[in-house]
Chain A
Amino acid sequence: MTDLAALEKDTLAAIAAASDEASLETVRVAALGKKGSISDLLKTLGAMTPDERKEKGPAINGLKDRVNEALLSRRTALKDAALDARLATEKVDVSLPVRESGNARGRIHPISQVIDELTAIFADMGFAIAEGPDVETDFYNFTALNFPVGHPAREMHDTFFFNPDANGERKLLRTHTSPVQIRTMMSQKPPIRVITPGRTYRCDSDQTHTPMFHQVEGLVIDKGSHMGHLKWILEEFCKTFFEVDNVKMRFRPSFFPFTEPSAEVDIQCSRKGGEIRFGEGEDWLEILGCGMVHPNVIRNCGLDPNEYQGFAWGMGIDRIAMLKYGMPDLRPFFDADVRWLSHYGFRPLDLPTLAGGLSV
């Protein structure tokens, strides 16, 4: 028995002394390998008498079990220590920045965003989008719109002209999107409800004017639409577009060759600390022009003004974008400065909808 006890003591000591898995394996083989000390003892059991076996068997097997247990626990301890040692070497500086994906930089220009906003609002009111060419004829840009030749209103447009062609006809860059009204009325039967966003051009350049800008007009032609409807549409539009519960608007009689009666529309606002707010305040801000489509224009499009009537309005897309989103100047709209575009632009998936809200 003392042999067994000594063997156990030595083996357990060797297990405890093993400093890594390899030396632990050496201890295991020495004790429990084919020719191991404990394995040899176990082999002696077969030659013993039943009584002897009864006495020695449990002692030897008990020794084997304890050694196995010690081996297992030592192995686990060594493994843990090895992992800890590895982990200690595997540290990264998690404060390092991750790379900004190039894709995150994409932006939508405010003009595109506002056109999408306009589309969402007016599509809900049953308006389609009509478009026309930028290079226009005098007829569509002026004559059909009731601008008499030589009339001061025509001169006020600072028109860009092309050189006369072989027939002496001189094309021009449209000075407003109104020619699209004519093209629509001439190509499509009433009832008509369209808005006409697009690029327009005037030979003018200073702080508040650029030779190219964007307009949107609206046109309704049917047999009963009147100024009261026009007022309602514009009020609803302004509330929805500027995302306020109330707006106060002022309709002032004015003059446009293509509408009669005509009006300019001011919207009430407050200007505090350089910020414009609608639905409050005491200032008036001119925002658009409108009126009942002039009977001469209806006639010029081949319709009878005693049967058909309607209204039209127009405003600057760049201007309402500035009013809503606060860009102080117009010129940077067309400069493609990515600093400006990143700041005032919109994320690609911020798609304006009436259900989700026009802006985030």
Chain B
Amino acid sequence: MKFTLNWLKEHLDTTASLDEIVEALTRVGLEVESVEDPAATLKGYITAFVISAAQHPNADRLRVCMVDTGDGNPIQVVCGAPNARTGMKSVFSPPGTFIPGKGITIGVGTIRGVESSGMLCSAFELGLSEDHEGIIDLPADAPVGVAYTDYASINDPVIDVAITPNRADALGIYGIARDLAAAGLGVLKKQAIVPVKGEGSCPVKVKLDFTQDDAHLAPAFALRLVRGVKNGPSPEWMQRRLKAIGLRPINALVDITNYLTFDRNRPLHVFDLKKTQGDLLVRRAKEGETVLALDGREYTLDPSMVVIADDKGVESIAGIMGGEHSGSDEGTTDVLIESALWDPLNVAQTGRKLGINTDARYRFERGVDPEFCVPGLDLATHLVMELCGGTPSELVLAGAIPDTSRVIAFPFAEVKRLTGLELPQTEMKATLIDLGFTVSGTGDVAHVSPPSWRADVEQKADLVEEIVRIAGLDRVQSTPFPREEATIAKPVLTLIQKRTRLAKRALAVRGLVEAVTWSFVSKDDAQAFGGGKPELALANPIASDLSDMRPSLLPGLMRAAQRNADRGLPNVALFEVGQIFRGDQPEDQVIAATALRRAMAKPDGAGRFWSETAQAVDAFDAKADAMALLEALGVPTGGLQIVPGGHPAFHPGRSGVLQFGPKVVIGAFGEIHPRLLEAMDVKGPLVACEIILDALPPPKAKPTKMKPKLVLSEFQPVSRDFAFIVGRDIAAADIVKLAQGADRNLITDVTVFDLYEGKGIPEGQKSVAIAVTLQPMDKTLTDSEIDAVAAKIVADVAKKTGAILRA
């Protein structure tokens, strides 16, 4: 919302400076976004007389001008403008002046061997227009040596404020003046609007054609005819103000409506009587009805919209934009002025549907002052009579001005309760009265009636806001806020919050870089990873590749890895810990921790190196990441089962599902399925693991923090190696488990230390070598005891797997 300082002063009697006003506006909640003060921007520019303009001795296109700025000391200026000539008047910028259009400060220089001080300026150089055809050509009677901003009357600062949606009243300059007056910046100039005495009734009747249920769509519609007007350009002062805030003057009648829109937050509309036919009917539009609006576009309407129609059809879209056919022009002599109330919600919906943004729509959808509907029409009539002459009719009012009066019981103590700020009752009362509220009653609880222009004020807290914003939030004292109990801060994180935090650090420690990727992926990617449910597809995605909520972190990370590879960084290790979506219910959102490695991004180092070139990543790198994560999160892995294959995102032979029994699946790891790589056009090798943190079993609750007693043996452990030849499909983990089971008390560790297939081993078989550690607790083992355990290990493994001990 823009306005000029002088325009504001029309309503505010003040001695405050521009800076003080700007500061106060922000302080009361009308945030100043920008101030343009042409007098400051164009400081130094003066009107000047070109005494002579002679051909430059060394340049065909340049002239050497002697310029008089009124002080009797002509200045020599080299000028390249084609229109520079002897005897003209123009605008001069002395050396040291900033040139906004060029972003430079002009100085004294030598141009092709001739000294030049300052410059003669075009409107473009002043930043006033796009016109840089030549220097400004002032009329012959222009005074010389006057500040150009004064001469051109562009010395009125323009202030742009951001108005919050609750403050419709501040969409009129009068309302802004009221706030400033309440804040002590001056006195509001209250002007009584004299009701217009019309001569004769308005010949055009108005009918609000609505069912009772629809009556709220157009509560009131006031109309008056002014006969015998002479329309033409509006006066200079009005045009200047409209232009200053970015509006284009059209003609006096239209300019008056625009002026009052900004002056009083009272949008109006004028019809040329000649161009209308019959009475006006305010109604819902008919399906498919069209109107050519004032912006020159034709709009197709539907019954959700409200229109003003005459016998010919739709003449105006209610509260949004008038029709081209019935608009006023230079030939208008009899003008109908409309001042109406519309339903804010309906105006907003219609405006959105039609894609029309106007100053009227903006105001009606935020709410105009209902009580000002008729006075606004009178004010407009006065202005029309003043600027265009004519004779007004009586007004016709269809519908009725709704009664919005209400009383709020307001304990003054509410201000202290909500803000901690203690203010004298007199000050609080005065603020409310200055803002137009009626305050009655005595004692600690007042009866407060909000003014008709403050539909946003409904209850006590709203009044507290009014009082505090005018008093100034800086007066609210910062008050220490200790913890509820005077104790050392207690832990606050939940298990999943702790695990989420820890998972990130644990994966980063393994050399993975944390990515944060979009929560949405393309439909194809979502479907490829088991998602793509209709309830998780956005109705209005911002882009087609960001259309569906992600069912897994894998597609986002895979694409991220590919982007890095495309930038020349093939060996990347990325992870993300974040939400994935399995449905649209709150419990369907779970936290996944996903780690992905590409190409040669091995933990020991990536890529080629003089000592050893890294191998390509494989399923075991992914498994190692998964196991490290579980270890860091303190999840006991004793009961963890690794089921080969089974996850559709991974290579069936080089992946595994991690589970604690078939009902507690916690994730998977492996090589990304080659078909997925191809479908997504992503290049491998890519390996990954994804663990669902919500699926991890919680730690066992324990009564104390005591760890179990540590029992150490006095006797040396013994190690024995066994090499088995088994079928290729036998899982090494099964051999380990069987060996472990041979003597649960004695055997403390079993590791696989060699795996071999090929020469010397029969086709379809492999050699698996394990080292078994025996830890006696009470005596040293004898050879026969060791042999007995060894024999049992061999027998147990052989029985269940068909293994034979390698010779």
Which single member of B417, B473, B546 contacts A226 (CB below 8 Å)? B417
A48 CB-CB contact with B under 8 Å: no
List, in ascending order, chain B residues with CB within 8 A of A8's CB: none
B474 CB-CB contact with A under 8 Å: yes
Are B538 and A107 neighbours in the complex by a CB distance under 8 Å?
no
**Closest partner residue, chain A, to B487 (CB atom):** A126
Closest 9 CB pairs between A and B? A253-B29, A228-B420, A255-B164, A228-B479, A336-B560, A348-B508, A261-B465, A253-B469, A336-B515
Are B164 and A254 neighbours in the complex by a CB distance under 8 Å?
yes
Which single member of B476, B560, B567, B579 contacts A227 (CB below 8 Å)? B476
| Cα of A351 to Cα of B564 in the assembled complex, Å | 27
B501, B538, B577 — which one has the most chain A CB atoms within 10 A of its CB? B538
| Cα of A334 to Cα of B27 in the assembled complex, Å | 37
Are B539 and A163 neighbours in the complex by a CB distance under 8 Å?
yes
| Cα of A255 to Cα of B167 in the assembled complex, Å | 9
Known: A226-B420, A255-B164, A337-B564. A161 touches B540 (CB 8 A): yes
Known: A163-B535, A260-B465, A337-B564. A107 touches B513 (CB 8 A): yes
Which single member of B167, B540, B564 contacts A336 (CB below 8 Å)? B564
Within 8 A of A (CB), among B558-604: 560, 563-564, 567, 569, 572-574, 577-579, 581, 584-586, 588-589, 601-604
Report 12 cross-chain contacts, Cβ distance below 8 Å, ordered by A residue.
A103-B509, A105-B606, A106-B512, A107-B514, A109-B514, A199-B519, A228-B478, A251-B474, A295-B461, A309-B418, A333-B516, A338-B574
B166, B460, B510 — which one has the most chain A CB atoms within 10 A of its CB? B166
Are A109 and B515 neighbours in the complex by a CB distance under 8 Å?
yes
Known: A103-B511, A227-B418, A253-B28. A126 touches B348 (CB 8 A): no
Known: A150-B345, A227-B420. A161 touches B483 (CB 8 A): no
Are A211 and B542 neighbours in the complex by a CB distance under 8 Å?
yes
B365 CB-CB contact with A under 8 Å: yes
Are A99 and B605 neighbours in the complex by a CB distance under 8 Å?
yes
> Which of B140-148, B247-255, B318-326, B488-496 lies on the face that meets chain A?
B488-496
List, in ascending order, chain A residues with CB within 8 A of B511's CB: 101-106
List, in ascending order, chain B residues with CB within 8 A of A131's CB: 497
B518 CB-CB contact with A under 8 Å: yes
B609 CB-CB contact with A under 8 Å: yes
Are B352 and A232 neighbours in the complex by a CB distance under 8 Å?
no
Which single member of A149, A162, A261 contacts B535 (CB below 8 Å)? A162
Shortest distance in angstroms between B650's beta carbon and chain A's nearest beta carbon?
A: 21
List, in ascending order, chain B residues with CB within 8 A of A212's CB: 518-520
Which single member of A116, A132, A162, A335 contacts B538 (CB below 8 Å)? A162
**Closest partner residue, chain A, to B492 (CB atom):** A128
Within 8 A of A (CB), among B124-145: none
List, in ascending order, chain B residues with CB within 8 A of A151's CB: 165
Q: Mark B75-86, 1 if CB is under 8 A from A, else 0.
A: 000000000000
| Cα of A99 to Cα of B612 in the assembled complex, Å | 9
Q: Mark B437-474, 1 if CB is under 8 A from A, else 0.
A: 00000000000000000000001111011001100011
Are A254 and B513 neighbours in the complex by a CB distance under 8 Å?
no
A326 CB-CB contact with B under 8 Å: no
Known: A201-B519, A226-B417. A150 touches B563 (CB 8 A): no
Known: A123-B492, A203-B540, A228-B479. A261 touches B574 (CB 8 A): no
**Contacts A134-B581, A336-B517 given; 5 further ones with Cβ under 8 A?**
A250-B474, A260-B462, A295-B459, A336-B515, A348-B508
**Closest partner residue, chain B, to A132 (CB atom):** B586
B794 CB-CB contact with A under 8 Å: no
**Closest partner residue, chain B, to A97 (CB atom):** B610
B537 CB-CB contact with A under 8 Å: yes
Known: A103-B510, A108-B504, A255-B165. A123 touches B461 (CB 8 A): no
Are B589 and A231 neighbours in the complex by a CB distance under 8 Å?
no
Are B605 and A101 neighbours in the complex by a CB distance under 8 Å?
yes
**Closest partner residue, chain B, to A295 (CB atom):** B461
Q: Is the interface of B mostly helix, strand, loop or mixed?
A: mixed
Are B519 and A228 neighbours in the complex by a CB distance under 8 Å?
no
B31 CB-CB contact with A under 8 Å: yes
A96 CB-CB contact with B under 8 Å: yes
Within 8 A of B (CB), among A155-193: 155-156, 160-163, 165, 170-171, 173, 191, 193
Q: Mark A243-280, 1 if CB is under 8 A from B, else 0.
A: 00000001111110000111110000000000000000
Are A119 and B493 neighbours in the complex by a CB distance under 8 Å?
yes
Are A112 and B546 neighbours in the complex by a CB distance under 8 Å?
no
List, in ascending order, chain A residues with CB within 8 A of B469's CB: 253, 261
A135 CB-CB contact with B under 8 Å: yes
Which single member of B29, B479, B507, B567 contacts A231 (CB below 8 Å)? B479
| Cα of A255 to Cα of B604 in the assembled complex, Å | 55
Q: Is the interface of A mostly helix, strand, loop or mixed?
A: mixed
| Cα of A20 to Cα of B200 in the assembled complex, Å | 140
| Cα of A119 to Cα of B540 in the assembled complex, Å | 34
Shortest distance in angstroms between B588's beta carbon and chain A's nearest beta carbon?
A: 8
**Closest partner residue, chain B, to A333 (CB atom):** B516
A109, A124, A129 — which one has the most chain B CB atoms within 10 A of its CB? A109
B6 CB-CB contact with A under 8 Å: no
List, in ascending order, chain A residues with CB within 8 A of B421's CB: 227-228
**Closest partner residue, chain B, to A261 (CB atom):** B465
| Cα of A309 to Cα of B509 in the assembled complex, Å | 44
Are B420 and A106 neighbours in the complex by a CB distance under 8 Å?
no
Shortest distance in angstroms between B379's beta carbon and chain A's nearest beta carbon?
A: 26
A229 CB-CB contact with B under 8 Å: yes
> Which of A30-38, A58-66, A80-88, A339-347 lies on the face that meets chain B?
A339-347
| Cα of A295 to Cα of B465 in the assembled complex, Å | 13
List, in ascending order, chain B residues with CB within 8 A of A345's CB: 513-514
Which single member of B462, B534, B541 contacts A160 (CB below 8 Å)? B541
Shortest distance in angstroms between A249's beta carbon and chain B's nearest beta carbon?
A: 9
Within 8 A of B (CB), among A222-244: 225-229, 231-233, 235
Q: Mark B416-431, 1 if CB is under 8 A from A, else 0.
A: 1111110000000000
Which single member of B480, B492, B497, B569 contacts A338 (CB below 8 Å)? B569
List, in ascending order, chain A residues with CB within 8 A of B417's CB: 226, 309
List, in ascending order, chain B residues with CB within 8 A of A349's CB: 505, 509
Are A106 and B507 neighbours in the complex by a CB distance under 8 Å?
yes
| Cα of A260 to Cα of B408 in the assembled complex, Å | 16
Shortest distance in angstroms between B260's beta carbon and chain A's nearest beta carbon?
A: 22
List, in ascending order, chain A residues with CB within 8 A of B604's CB: 99, 101-102
Are B31 and A336 neighbours in the complex by a CB distance under 8 Å?
no
List, in ascending order, chain A residues with CB within 8 A of B747's CB: none
Known: A109-B514, A163-B535, A336-B516. A232 touches B481 (CB 8 A): yes
| Cα of A9 to Cα of B299 in the assembled complex, Å | 129
B557 CB-CB contact with A under 8 Å: yes
List, in ascending order, chain B residues with CB within 8 A of A337's CB: 563-564, 567
| Cα of A129 to Cα of B500 in the assembled complex, Å | 13
List, in ascending order, chain B residues with CB within 8 A of A125's CB: 481, 483, 489
Are B165 and A156 neighbours in the complex by a CB distance under 8 Å?
yes
List, in ascending order, chain A residues with CB within 8 A of B501's CB: 112, 116, 119
List, in ascending order, chain B residues with CB within 8 A of A129's CB: 492-494, 497
A111 CB-CB contact with B under 8 Å: yes
Shortest distance in angstroms between B558's beta carbon and chain A's nearest beta carbon?
A: 11
| Cα of A231 to Cα of B513 in the assembled complex, Å | 37
Q: Mark B161-193, 1 if CB is under 8 A from A, else 0.
A: 000111100000000000000000000000000
Are A226 and B418 neighbours in the complex by a CB distance under 8 Å?
yes
Are A160 and B540 neighbours in the complex by a CB distance under 8 Å?
yes
Known: A103-B603, A107-B508, A232-B478. A262 touches B465 (CB 8 A): yes
B615 CB-CB contact with A under 8 Å: no
Within 8 A of B (CB), among A92-151: 96-97, 99-109, 111-112, 116, 119, 123-129, 131-135, 149-151
A108, A163, A228, A305 — which one has the most chain B CB atoms within 10 A of its CB? A228
B67 CB-CB contact with A under 8 Å: no
Are B509 and A336 neighbours in the complex by a CB distance under 8 Å?
no
Which single member of A211, A348, A351 contacts B518 (CB below 8 Å)? A211
Within 8 A of A (CB), among B218-243: none
